Amino acid sequence: MISGAHLELRPWRRLSVEELAALAEVPSRRIWQELEEGILPGRAKGRSRHCFGPRDVFYFRLVRHLEKALTLSPSVRRELHEAIAGVHDDREPHASPWRKTDTGWEFTSVQASFDARQPFAESVKQVRLFIHGKRRIESRPDILGGEPVFKGTRIAVRHVGDLLLKGVPRAEVREDFPRLDDEDLTFAALFAQLPRPQGRPRKALVSRREGA
């Protein structure tokens, strides 16, 4: 049985392929593969791009967790995604190998027990971090040419994230940018993994302490 307290995530769908990959910590090519195999739904009518949500983040994190012990075929992964999304909540119980319970899903095809609390907690944490972080940043033409910065500052989010991804200690980054808290730094590192929007290349930013 896959168990986890309150396994519910809001059904909104706003994440791009790249954002989903960063939040779920999987390569973008894995998401495109799931789309090609029909495991993930295609673009919704009227949308110009694929959009994903918290339940998709949980799906990929849970699959990573399960694949440590199981080989999941495309059909089994499709059934799991549909169970998480609640696509077939009203159909006959025997129609799917994934049986939903009060705390998760029971995989009836194997005699094994799986605990989903860790991937679920990680999913919730990442989604909340992303939502909070997006609210903390802004992009204005008069500040660094439109480069996303933390609101009320001239601190480029991607620059801070790049420092962390290059291995600069968090304590050193915090010292250079004291107005940022640990959550800001974690979001910056996540943001720096996303591709830049297409357009004119921006000039490289020079690392500078606040007040310097």
Q: pLDDT digits over 195-208, tens only?
A: 887 654 455 554 45
- 33 exposed, middle or buried (CB, 10 Å; 0-12, 13-18, 19+)? middle
The strand pairing partners of 138, in sequence order, are 149
More confident residue, 49 or 203: 49
3-class state of residue 88 by DSSP: coil
Integer Cα distance of 153 and 135 in angstroms: 14
What is the predicted pLDDT for the residue at 85? 79
Q: For residue 23, give both structure tokens.
A: 């939040």
Across 173-182, average pLDDT: 95
Instruction: Give the residue-averaged pLDDT of 164-179.
Output: 95
The confidence score (pLDDT) of residue 132 equals 92
Residue where the block lists tokens 């983040």: 57
Percent of the chain clearing pLDDT 70 (strictly above): 72
Per-residue confidence (pLDDT) for residue 167, from 0 to 100: 96
Q: Which residues contact 179 (CB under 8 A, 6 or more apart)?
A: 150, 153, 155, 210
Looking at residue 48, what DSSP letter applies?
S
Range 121-144 burial, b when 16+ CB lie within 10 A, else e: ebbbebbebbeebeebbeeeeeeb
* Separation between Cα atoms, residue 180 and residue 115, nearest integer Å: 35
Tell me the pLDDT band of 80, cut-offs 50, 70 and 90: confident
Q: Give the pLDDT confidence score for residue 108 in this predicted structure.
A: 62
pLDDT in tens, 93-116: 445 666 666 555 566 665 556 777
pTM over 0.75: yes
- Residue 37: other Cβ atoms inside 10 A: 13
Mean model confidence pLDDT for the chain: 81
Say which residue the tokens 């998760």 belong to.
104
All domains of the chain in start order, with CATH: 2-121 (1.10.1660), 139-204 (1.10.10.10)
Instruction: Provide the pLDDT for residue 112.
Output: 56
Which pLDDT score is estimated for 91?
A: 46
